[in-house]
């Protein structure tokens, strides 16, 4: 059992463009708004999940001979010298009749590639690129420098410990495409099926990975993709006469898994992080019913709009991070996540020589495809039932959360886990990085919850120590955080309380809400200032951080 924790470099801020999650550009919110209005317009609530499929027919498998060699990347333009791992990228046809092909980027490990597990990474959106966002901004081996021409090595890349496969999914995202444009109007079920067909074909192209331990990881809207694909794999594994995929576990980061908790957790997070006023929060609590059967009233919508207005122009995906702006040319103060990174990546990936080196079709590459997200069909209200199935199946299930994300915040994740009603196995304890608390862990039955302190939505790109999935021996579960050394004072974990089940959701309002009127601020500020400045320093309260209270 081990965990690898990572620090990151930062880039200086140069240009202004709205970025993924930056001002005015929020792919998940756009998609959710449309889904929620559709849900209001129809009495039919769709929670179709993939288990309803009872028959199996073999998936399309194309000829793969020679394609692996063709896909080998000799070098990416601008890559640093001394690149000591294999890179491949190219297309896998998943539907020859439609001309539908998914693009992947694969990075082997520099060491132990032949024994390290295979990890699939998926970004969300829906409609956002796993290559541009996942590989180039988060966990891949390279970062695009601010010149948009050269790359630098990400020393905390996940391929240090796993062979990592980035899939641009569904067709229409990033470099993936279909010759049948109606394929761009798609949904969760089709996305899972195509990803499955992709994997079966990719494993024919790279047969050495056929029986390798396999993990599926992803973030945000991949909170739908990852469990659904895992469920489809487990289901097909039982009946297929094609490749049985050796699925060992999944990990979901800041994941959208349930629409009710997405709403309740987000507004509670806004309120407890001083982003919205008490009045707006109370307005939401008393006017909104975010359950699947609940009706969203005009009053509720009005308070939600007020919340978004009140939030104003902050980097919603990492609430303390600086914005990408031409005016902010100084060192970022709190977080070193650079929200301009997206711009460097877009420029780099739209360079013809880069597209050629990647064996990509020449296209205008985009970080997220708005059309896909806005035309998404059939988004289940919750995938918690799917996650529940996976927990029972025996694979390892990890849910992690960067705790400065406002988009799918840690409160949302905690409420979702409450709704799963699993019991605590090992109570809350800190995990440590370099002598500091990196975050916290709570181990539930069949589920591990991990926070990453100070990380935003894009956990693998944030400054704070980061978690990456590691496997040590195939008989051990992966993604196991190390226990903090019990010998160090102050951090003893409390004795396990088997059977404890959190009760905070949905029986009681998520947080205590003080109904008392707020104390009035002094209206005469001159008097206030005088009063304040006249306080003799000897009477200033002394602050002892070690004193309880």
Ligand X SMILES: *[C@@H]1O[C@H](CO)[C@@H](O)[C@H](O)[C@H]1NC(C)=O
Question: Which residues of this chain interact with ligand X, rule CB under 6 A?
Answer: 58, 93, 96, 99, 101, 111-112, 179, 241, 289, 291, 293-294, 391-392, 394, 422, 445-446
Angstrom distance (rounded) from CA 140 to CA 163: 11
Nearer to ligand X, 23 or 246 (CB): 246
Of 111 and 504, the one with the shorter C-beta distance to ligand X is: 111
C-alpha distances (whole Å) from 86 to each of 113, 115, 116, 159, 451 are 9, 15, 14, 10, 32
As a whole number of angstroms, the distance between CA 514 and CA 215 comes to 44
Q: Tell me the closest approach of the beta carbon of residue 251 to ligand X, in angstroms.
A: 17
Cα–Cα distance for residue pair 319/342, rounded to 1 Å: 17
Which helix or strand (DSSP H or E) is residue 427 part of?
Answer: strand 424-433
Of 129, 220, 382, 462, which one is the catalytic site residue?
A: 220
405 annotated active-site = yes
CA atoms of 281 and 214, how far apart (whole Å):
43
Structure tokens at 127: 């409609």
**Contact in structure between 202 and 164 (CB atoms under 8 Å):** no
For residue 92, give the 3-state DSSP assignment. Answer: strand
Return phi, psi of residue 249, to 5°. -175, 170
Cβ of 329: how many Cβ atoms within 10 Å?
Answer: 9
Minimum Å gap between C-beta 248 and ligand X is 14
CB of 320 to ligand X, least distance (A): 32
Query: Closer CB to ligand X, residue 150 or residue 445?
Result: 445
Cα dihedral 316, 322, 328, 332, rounded to 10, equals -170
Q: Shortest CA distance to 365 belongs to which of 177, 176, 130, 174?
A: 174
Question: Could you tell me where the beta strands, DSSP code E, fall in 131-269?
Answer: 142-144, 151-153, 163-167, 177-178, 214-220, 247-255
CB 29 within 8 A of CB 128: no
Q: Give the residue with the Cβ less far from ligand X, 57 or 330.
A: 57
Q: From the CB of residue 466, how many other CB atoms can be counted at a distance below 10 Å?
A: 26
In the complex with ligand X, which residue's Cβ is closer, 282 or 374? 282
Shortest Å distance, C-beta 219 to ligand X: 23
C-beta of 236: minimal distance to ligand X in Å?
12
Q: Residue 295 CB, nearest distance to ligand X (Å)?
A: 7
Catalytic residue selected from 405, 416, 461, 471: 405
Nearer Cβ to ligand X (323/470): 470
Active site residues: 220, 405, 457
């Amino acid at each position: 059992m081990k965990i690898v924790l990572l620090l990151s470099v930062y880039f200086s801020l140069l240009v202004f463009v709205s970025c993924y999650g930056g001002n005015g550009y929020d792919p998940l919110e756009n998609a959710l708004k449309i889904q929620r209005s559709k849900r209001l317009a129809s009495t039919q609530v769709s929670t179709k999940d993939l288990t309803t499929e009872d028959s199996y027919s073999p998936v399309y498998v194309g000829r793969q001979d020679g394609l692996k060699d063709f896909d080998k990347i000799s070098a990416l333009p601008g890559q640093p010298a001394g690149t000591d791992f294999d890179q491949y990228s190219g297309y896998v046809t998943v539907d020859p009749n439609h001309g539908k092909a998914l693009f992947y980027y694969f990075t082997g490990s520099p060491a132990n590639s032949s024994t390290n597990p295979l990890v699939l990474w998926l970004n969300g959106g829906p409609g956002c690129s796993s290559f541009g966002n996942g590989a180039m901004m988060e966990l891949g081996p390279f970062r695009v420098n601010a010149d948009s021409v050269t790359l630098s090595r990400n020393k905390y890349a996940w391929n240090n410990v796993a062979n990592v496969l980035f899939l641009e999914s569904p067709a229409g995202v990033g470099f993936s495409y279909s010759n049948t444009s109606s394929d761009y109007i798609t949904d969760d079920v089709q996305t899972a099926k195509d990803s499955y067909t992709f994997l079966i074909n990719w494993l024919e192209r790279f047969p050495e990975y056929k029986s390798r331990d396999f993990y599926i990881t992803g973030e945000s809207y991949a909170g739908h993709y990852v469990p659904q694909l895992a469920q489809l794999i487990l289901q097909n594994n039982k009946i297929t006469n094609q490749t049985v995929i050796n699925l060992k576990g999944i990990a979901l980061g800041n994941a959208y898994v349930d629409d009710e908790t997405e709403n309740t957790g987000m507004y509670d997070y806004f309120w407890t992080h001083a982003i919205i006023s008490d009045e707006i929060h109370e307005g939401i609590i008393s006017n909104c019913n975010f359950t699947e059967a609940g009706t969203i009233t005009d009053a509720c919508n009005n308070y939600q709009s007020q919340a978004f207005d009140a939030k104003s122009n902050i980097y919603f995906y990492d609430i303390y991070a600086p914005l990408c702006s031409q005016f902010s040319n100084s060192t970022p103060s709190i977080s070193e996540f650079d929200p301009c990174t997206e711009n460097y990546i877009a420029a780099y990936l739209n360079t013809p020589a880069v597209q050629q080196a990647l064996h990509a079709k020449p296209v205008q590459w985009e970080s997220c495809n708005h059309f896909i997200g806005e035309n998404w069909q059939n988004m289940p209200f919750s995938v918690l039932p799917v996650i529940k199935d996976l927990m029972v199946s025996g694979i390892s299930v990890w849910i992690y959360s960067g705790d400065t994300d406002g988009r799918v915040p840690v409160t949302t994740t905690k409420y979702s886990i409450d709704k799963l009603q699993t019991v605590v196995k090992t109570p809350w304890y800190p995990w440590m990085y370099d002598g500091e608390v990196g975050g916290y862990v709570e181990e539930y039955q069949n589920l591990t919850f991990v926070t990453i302190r100070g990380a935003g939505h894009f956990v693998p790109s944030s400054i704070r120590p980061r978690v990456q999935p590691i496997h040590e021996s195939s008989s051990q579960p992966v993604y196991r955080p190390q226990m903090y050394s019990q010998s160090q004072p102050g951090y003893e974990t409390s004795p396990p309380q088997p059977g404890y089940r959190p009760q905070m959701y949905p029986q009681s309002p998520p947080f205590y809400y003080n109904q008392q009127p707020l104390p009035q601020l002094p209206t005469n500020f001159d008097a206030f200032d005088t009063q304040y400045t006249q306080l003799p320093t000897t009477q200033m309260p002394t602050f002892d951080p070690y004193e309880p209270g």
